Amino acid sequence: MPTEDLLNRHLSNSPSLEFPLKSPGPEGTLGYTEDDLLNRPSGDLFGMSQNAGMSGSGANATDPNMVILSTLGGWPNAALGAHTGHNELYKLVEVAAHEFRRLGQLPFALHTSDTCDGRTQGTIWANISLASRNVIFKSLATQLRGIPCAEGVLGIATCDKGLPAMTMLVASLCQFTGNLPGIIVPGGVTLPPEEGEDAGTIQSLGARFAKGVVNLEQAQDLGCKACATPGGGCQFFGTAATAQAVAEAMGLTLTHAALAPSGFEIWTDLARGSAESLVTMRQTSLGVKQILTDAAIRNAMTVHAAMGGSTNLLLHIPAIAHAAGLRRPTREDFHEINLKVPRIVDCLPTGIHPTVRVFMAGGVPEVMLHLAELNLLDLDALTVTGLTLGENLQLWKNSDRRRILRERLLAEDGIDPDDVILSPARASALGFGPTVAYPTGNIAPEGSVVKATSIHRRLLDADGIYRKTAPCRTFTNESSAIHAVKEGIVRPGEVIVIMCRGPLGAGMPETYEVTAALKGIAELSDCALITDARFSGVTTGPCFGHVSPEALAPNSNLGKLRDGDMIEIFLDTKQLQGSLNLVGENGVAVSAERGDQILAQRQRREDLEIDPHLPDYIRQWALIQHLSGGPWGGCVEDLTTLEAALGPAILPA
């Protein structure tokens, strides 16, 4: 329709011009007291007027304020969200709000939506993802402070950045005046298709089609069915699922809350129960600062290791601790825990089972029962139930919920729950290794990260050691790397190096388009990847990320590598020791000592550059997080560090 016709129709739509000019207003009166009028801020009083106006009645406008914060996306029966993880969260918001009203509380629902790493993967906007966690946290924190009379916070979130941001928000209540209670409702998981591929495997479709692994008809069918239900996080134990497990391990959710199937009553019941628990916390003066302690952080790190969690939580757990005003765990702390804690969960992408089976087998509390037997948890840590972790686990062990779900998994899916969550002895006998290692070496003198448990056993020797010496092929962005993979430029057995993808260079995006392609193309499955970027939680194989210093840092060796340099990789997957070294050039390997000399003589490559599509606000975050400890410090924005860096010249005495 021509623009002029549209405008004429708009200007001549006479029925829409009929509306009242006044309203009788809400029913009833406000329950002000004399003390309210004499002593409370005008904002509190006006807020009550707003409450009456929004609800149409003054009857409950002064009830205790309970704030529901969510990462809701989409709108029911109208518009889609950006991803399944937030597409159904409105259901949890609604259930929690009704429960608050039943309990005599006044609910407020506010939200800041989140993006999907998978949707931006390989696009020019993959660079926004990690920094968006901090943006979401700030937005949620701002909205919460916009309800000054809040007496409790219920946070609802699901996915990679939204849930870590929400956990940071609830953690930050530790630093509020008073003893504010808070609780988290994880958004759960989507179900796997009856036939087809999970949402992680499906992301290599383009590369597999380019190599003739799948045809067009197969790709069309597989792509359609991968996200089999409209809500929940992906079906593998990636960042979203790990973030849910970590929130529960910290004591911030109800027992057996992580990984519930989205959209079903067992999922919505978590919102009802969490609202009731939050009211009880308020009535008993149980605040987040009594729950989120150093012990709770360590419990979360222990569960992360036992479940083979995403390496992205190495960024998020320190950030959650920082938001709570606690000591940020270090790389050494994670290393110590990973050496002690057995991995006992068989779940995609490293294993074979989807996340809903982990939930049915008992989820986080079932894992914690095994860890408790090994004395690896602080069972005296308080939780949002008002009980200690140990008390929660005892109730879980004897619960009908545990018995019925585990029986259903065996009867209806033919899966023994003890094959999903294994005893430590059985996991060890089957060759389950520890989760995360931190190789150093002349390429990564300040460290790197690899999910050791994700390297296929055929690439390891009898002692569980991965060794590789091969020439490298270098790229300064991911798009050129994936092009080289699809076009056959990358040869079998090479080491792929992708630089300029750290926080300073590109916002530290995930490089899953490349790692998924390497996994999905058989002849490239022996290739290794080294990068200053990070990885999707679904990444598997010999992929070494978080290389530090990153390529654009002044003292980086990564930014000196060239095509044909010989790279030596060593990783002991049992002792979690490893190294990434330049050992020669022009296809000739000599030694790490010779590599040190070569790197000392070289200048940084001239083609290194900041991603031209990196928005200014992401660059600002990158600079501040670099001053605040960088990725090893959780990519936070630490005000004390920033003030020290800026110096007294611009700050008041």
Q: What is the pLDDT of residue 6?
A: 87
Residue 69 in any domain: the answer is: yes
Residue 648's pLDDT band (cuts 50, 70, 90): low
pLDDT tens digits, 179-204: 999 999 999 999 999 999 999 999 98
- Identify the domain boundary among 318, 342, 366: 342
pLDDT tier at 519 (50, 70, 90 boundaries)? Answer: confident
Segment 488-499, tens digit of pLDDT: 999 999 999 999
Report the alpha-carbon distance of residue 213 to residue 616 in Å, rounded: 40
Per-residue model confidence as pLDDT tens digits over 41-60: 999 999 999 999 999 999 99
Q: Percent of the chain, pLDDT > 70?
A: 99
pLDDT for 537: 74
The answer to whether residues 640 and 497 belong to one domain is: no
Residues 474 and 580 in one domain: yes
Residue 315 domain flag: yes
- My answer on whether 453 and 323 are in the same domain is no
Q: What is the mean pLDDT of the chain?
A: 95
* pLDDT confidence of residue 652: 62
Model confidence band, residue 650 (pLDDT cutoffs 50, 70, 90)? low
Residues whose CB falls within 8 Å of the CB of residue 538, separated by 6 or more in sequence, listed in order = 200, 203, 234, 236, 238, 348, 349, 512, 516
Residue 415 lies in a domain: no
Contact status, residue 309 vs residue 435, Cβ threshold 8 Å? yes
Q: What does the pLDDT read at residue 430?
A: 94
Residues with catalytic roles: 536
Last residue of one domain, picked from the residues 342, 359, 384 = 342
Q: Is residue 625 part of a domain?
A: yes
Model confidence pLDDT, tens digit, residues 65-84: 999 999 999 999 999 999 99
CA dist., res. 227 & res. 427, Å (int): 30
How much of the chain, in percent, has pLDDT values that exceed 90? 88
Q: Is residue 484 part of a domain?
A: yes
In a domain, 23, yes or no: no
Could you give the C-alpha distances from 106 to 58, 288, 372, 455, in angstroms and in order? Answer: 12, 21, 39, 51
Helical axes 313-323 vs 129-145, angle rounded to 10°: 20
Q: In a 10 Å sphere around its CB, with 0-12 CB exposed, 13-18 middle and 19+ buried, how is residue 227 labelled? A: buried
3-state secondary structure 543-595: EEECCCCCCCCCCCCHHHCCCCCEEEEEEECCCCEEEEEEEEECCEECCHHHH
Residues 240, 354 contacting (CB under 8 angstroms):
no
Q: Going along 335-464, which residue ranges are E strands?
A: 436-437, 450-451
User: How many structural domains comprise the chain?
Assistant: 3
449-484, pLDDT tens digit by residue? Answer: 999 988 988 999 999 999 999 999 999 999 999 999
Read off the pLDDT of residues 204-246 as tens digits, 9 standing for 90 and up. Answer: 899 899 889 999 999 999 999 999 999 999 999 999 999 999 9
Domain of 491, CATH number, reads: 3.50.30.80
Same domain, 555 and 635: no
> In this structure, is residue 375 part of a structural domain?
no
Asked if 80 and 108 sit in the same domain, the reply is yes
Same domain for 578 and 551, yes or no, is yes
User: Is residue 610 in a domain?
Assistant: no
DSSP H/E element including 537 = none
Domain co-membership, 579 together with 629? no
Whether 105 and 133 share a structural domain: yes
Residue range(s) defining the domain that contains residue 626: 616-646
Q: Is the pLDDT of residue 1 over 80?
A: no
Do 179 and 79 fall into the same domain?
Answer: yes
pLDDT tens by residue, 571-602: 999 999 999 999 999 999 999 999 999 999 99
Give pLDDT, residue 176: 94
CATH code of the domain containing 134: 3.40.50.360
Tell which of 295, 321, 342 closes a domain. Answer: 342
Indicate if 583 and 621 belong to the same structural domain: no
pLDDT value at residue 651? 61
- Determine the pLDDT at residue 325: 97
- Asked if residue 623 and residue 497 are part of one domain, the reply reads no
> Is the same domain home to 106 and 160?
yes
269-302 residue pLDDT tens: 999 999 999 999 999 999 999 999 999 999 999 9
